[in-house]
Homo-oligomer: A and B are copies of this chain.
């Protein structure tokens, strides 16, 4: 079972923490339909959750001007799943402040900076693009096996 590709899924939603479980559900559903193994599914679900939680927590210190200030865009291509999490918020923040290792995280006892660390560990490619006043875009990629290379698929 593998979904025909390419396809695109886009979510636009308010910056409220209670939206996160729905976003995770839709992402997990999609990763599962692509036939990805449980472990990749968890990694993708968590990376998207972390990027979205960051938008909700950090991007808009003041109430956002847009009605739907958080965008999640999933592009399932033949060889990769590209996921973009975008906001039009402050476009500034200590994105390079991510912990380098769990040892550092435990040592420092601040218990912050784990979200961006997780994205970088769990996805194959991660890019952060920030422009002050224009927002932040996190672009994450997970490589996929092209459908015709899948052994035993229907």
Interface of A toward B, CB cutoff 8 Å: 3-14, 16, 18-19, 21-22, 25-26, 29-30, 33, 67-68
Contact = CB atoms under 8 A, between A and B. Distances in A.
Oligomeric state, in copies: 2
B13 A4 contact: yes
B29 A3 contact: no
Given A9-B12, A21-B33, 18 more contacts: A3-B18, A3-B19, A4-B13, A4-B18, A4-B19, A5-B14, A7-B11, A7-B19, A7-B68, A8-B11, A9-B11, A10-B10, A22-B29, A22-B30, A22-B33, A25-B33, A26-B26, A26-B29
Contacts of A7: 11-14, 19, 68
A44 B4 CA distance: 23
A40 to B, nearest CB: 17
A29 B22 CA distance: 8
7 tightest CB-CB pairs across the interface, nearest first?
A: A7-B13, A22-B33, A4-B16, A8-B12, A10-B10, A25-B29, A4-B14
A4 B25 CA distance: 15
Nearest to A22: B33
